[in-house]
Structure 1
Amino acid sequence: MANRGYDVVVDVDNEVSTAHRPQTCHTDLQEDLEFHSSNFDQPQGNSRSKIPSDLPAPVTANRSSNSSKRILWTLAFYQQFFDVDTADILKRCTAALYPRASFLDVLDGNPDLYGPFWIATTVVAILFLTGTISGYLAKRGEGHFAYDFRLLSGAAGLIYGYTGVIPVALWGTLKWFGSESANVLECWALYGYANLIWIPVALVSWSPLTALNYAFVGVGFAMSALFLFRNLYPVLSATDVKTSKILLIIVVALHAGLAIAIKILFFAHGSPAAKKIVSGGDRDVGSRMFFRI
């Protein structure tokens, strides 16, 4: 490669007399070598084909601009929050009940609202049904029994309010203290999947035995609080030590309040939601439905 930039032309005289050819044929090539200038390093001018300038832009060029055009009143804006399939939902539900890894790692940067919404809706429906059964068993033999639909509205307000408001408040607090790792969708997903434990708890807490109900609700609180503590601790640790401890205490205290509210309002004999309703004639028509059991 020492003669880079030159063409080497070798002209060998093959007309060598066989009669005078020595045993080892040797030809002096130095006199027949010719060197020519090469144009390898020079621009080729018109020889290089030009790319037409009128071709359309690549498809990927508009992805970022299209994603930024998602506005609040379009369906595409909300579709991104439900971009999961059945396998993803089952995997996340399993990770919520048997937390062997960080739930934020299970989300893999794709938090959803599909699972939290239907989990909260299922909890509301089951709390109403099992709370009604618990109230009936507590008042059996006392005459008329009223299906109090205030249990349904109370369960909806309690579960939807807790799952929707507390994560936003936590996210806002973290932003206030300068945490960059806080994500409101991840907070919603975390609290939404934490409600999954209340489905089996509600299914087994319909008995009139108060001590047994306390035990079931206590197990549900311990599992869900541990789930929240384990996954929120790295996020809350982004603040200073004192602030992170206070926030953790508030998170656990609010979750304990949810568990106590579920126990008292839906699975306690003589609780305000399950108190005996006395028929008052027409004044109760339209607000309650009475059935003879």
Structure 2
Amino acid sequence: MASTNDPFQFQEFEEAGNLLEANRDAVTISIEDDVKPEKQRKAAGFAPDGEDEDPLAGDDKTELLSGQKKSVPFWTFEYYQKFFDIETHHVKERIIGSVVPWPGKNFIHIYLRRNPDLYGPFWICTTLVFAIAISGNISNFLVHLGKPNYKYTPEFRKVTIAATAIFSYAWFVPLALWGFLLWRNNKVMNLVSYSFMEIVCVYGYSLSIYIPAVVLWILPYEWLRWCSIVLALCLSGTVLVMTFWPAVRDDHPKVIVAIMSAIVVLNVLLAVGCKAYFFSKPEPALQLEHSAITAAIKATAST
């Protein structure tokens, strides 16, 4: 038989009963009373209070806590919203960084930080379009000011031509460059790769230096226009070259020369082409036309 002092023998705890009798006003909690109603609610189909929330909101919270973002297709507006979500001081920093480049500093690594935007490039391109068109009309007006046979008519077609040139340069050139770098990255595995939006952002901000330069082109001084063109080309070209040099420096020397030359030449063609088309001198053409008309009148009078 088991001993009466066996420690493994079941015993009733009389002390708990004595404590309850001594303090009859004490509140007791039964585990079964708390568990059973919850089981009954689940059996009846009722969800707990925490489960009444929207499941989509729970998914968003989970994504935020885990640091993962839900990917959306690029043809939706939701995809481009993140590229316009930027603070004003960030735009100012990027504009200053594109106007005052420092040797050895990559614009993408220093200012973009893997967070490109389209807000700054869009408004820079739009401002440059209207600056070129308006400055070209004002310059044309000042050149012919005081001539009795001249009647000023605003040329609105310059806005369309300027928009086509600027936005084509700001979008199609980055697209071609991104495709070429992606192709070379597949050939040479250790090359630095940039996304398409990062390249568009760099090209958009690199055009900001042309806005004050175009305003100076209003003054009818060719030396001032060419000095501002050279200065703008040096600053803008330096930003582009320093940014894309790490992406091609480990490639073949011929490829390096070709891509760097293409970047610089296209930049020069844009600046010189805008100056030649929107700020060209019309006096020789007018004089030639006037002399032709005068000769025709004399020939008609002689006959």
* Distance in structure 1 (CA, Å) of the matches to 2:152 and 2:168: 29
Deviation at 1:271, TM superposition (A): 9.2
> Which SS does the other structure have where 1:67 is aligned?
coil
How well do the aligned residues superpose, as a CA RMSD in angstroms?
A: 2.7
Write the mapping of 1:27-176 to structure 2, written as runs, cut at 5 A: 61-62=62-63, 67-100=69-102, 101-104=105-108, 105-140=110-145, 141=147, 142-176=149-183
Counterpart amino acid of residue 174 in structure 2: P
CA deviation map 1:78-126 (0-9, x unaligned):
1111121101101111111112332112111101111000000000011
| Percent identical residues | 30
Deviation at 1:195, TM superposition (A): 0.4
Deviation at 1:222, TM superposition (A): 1.4
Number of the residue aligned with 1:211: 223
Deviation at 1:261, TM superposition (A): 0.7
Counterpart amino acid of residue 106 in structure 1: Y
CA deviation map 1:196-253 (0-9, x unaligned):
0011001111122223212211211111111111111112224323212210011111
* Distance in structure 2 (CA, Å) of the matches to 1:275 and 1:184: 46
- Whether 1:226 aligns to 2:245 is no
Number of the residue aligned with 2:22: none
CA deviation map 1:14-49 (0-9, x unaligned):
xxxxxxxxxxxxxxxxxxxxxxxxxxxxxxxxxxxx
> Which SS does the other structure have where 2:153 is aligned?
strand
Say whether the 8 Å CA contact 2:178–2:195 is kept in structure 1.
yes
* Distance in structure 2 (CA, Å) of the matches to 1:170 and 1:89: 24
User: Compared with structure 1, are the counterparts of its residues 109 and 212 closer, same or farther at alpha carbon in structure 2 (3 Å cutoff)?
Assistant: same
Counterpart amino acid of residue 163 in structure 1: A
User: Compared with structure 1, are the counterparts of its residues 154 and 221 closer, same or farther at alpha carbon in structure 2 (3 Å cutoff)?
Assistant: same
* Distance in structure 2 (CA, Å) of the matches to 1:168 and 1:107: 18
Counterpart amino acid of residue 134 in structure 2: L
Number of the residue aligned with 2:263: 251
* Distance in structure 2 (CA, Å) of the matches to 1:86 and 1:227: 21
Deviation at 1:65, TM superposition (A): 11
Question: TM-score, normalization: structure 2?
Answer: 0.67
**Aligned length, in residue pairs:** 223
Say whether the 8 Å CA contact 1:210–1:267 is kept in structure 2.
no
* Distance in structure 2 (CA, Å) of the matches to 1:239 and 1:182: 15
Counterpart amino acid of residue 76 in structure 1: E
Counterpart amino acid of residue 187 in structure 1: I
* Distance in structure 1 (CA, Å) of the matches to 2:286 and 2:212: 24
Say whether the 8 Å CA contact 2:83–2:119 is kept in structure 1.
yes
* Distance in structure 2 (CA, Å) of the matches to 1:186 and 1:255: 18
CA deviation map 1:49-85 (0-9, x unaligned):
xxxxx99788654458983441234332111111211
**Is there any run of 5+ residues in structure 1 with no aligned partner, and where?**
1-53, 279-293
Deviation at 1:270, TM superposition (A): 2.1
